[in-house]
Amino acid sequence: MNVKLIYPNRIESWDTRADGSATTSHAQLVIANGTSLQLWSCLWRDEFDSDGNPVEGAQDIEESGYPREIAHLGNHCARDLFEFCGALHFESGLLRLDVDGEALYEYVPDEGFEG
């Protein structure tokens, strides 16, 4: 999973681990305690011998990461990702949140507002 936080003055990109040995991977982008946006991943892969061949009958190897905070709210508590993004725009100027190359949230200025 690739997540991009796009601000007026910077772009932050966060990636979970992915390599050719992975047979199954799991990633989560989650709001924790209403104030923390966290990215977590887990990888299950087969055991390989020195020639790179899968070892028959071997247990899958699990590599589980720890949640990594990638954004934090100081003055708001959000119930969901979209509310979190709106609050992060208000607090830090977030313009867009991309997940795997698709915009999940994008700030659109109110065309009728002047000031």
pLDDT tens-digit readout, 23-40: 567 788 889 999 999 988
Q: Which helix (H) or strand (E) holds 64?
A: strand 61-64
Best CA proximity match to 22, nearest among 56, 46, 39 = 46
* Pair of tokens at residue 37: 């946006």
The pLDDT assigned to 105 comes to 95
Q: Averaged over 40-67, what is the pLDDT?
A: 72
Percent above pLDDT 70 for the chain: 73
- Our CA dihedral for 6, 10, 14, 15, rounded to 10 degrees, sits at 90
Task: Evaluate whether 105 touches 83 at the Cβ level (below 8 Å).
Answer: no
Residues 61-96 pLDDT 10s: 667 778 899 999 999 999 999 999 999 999 999 999
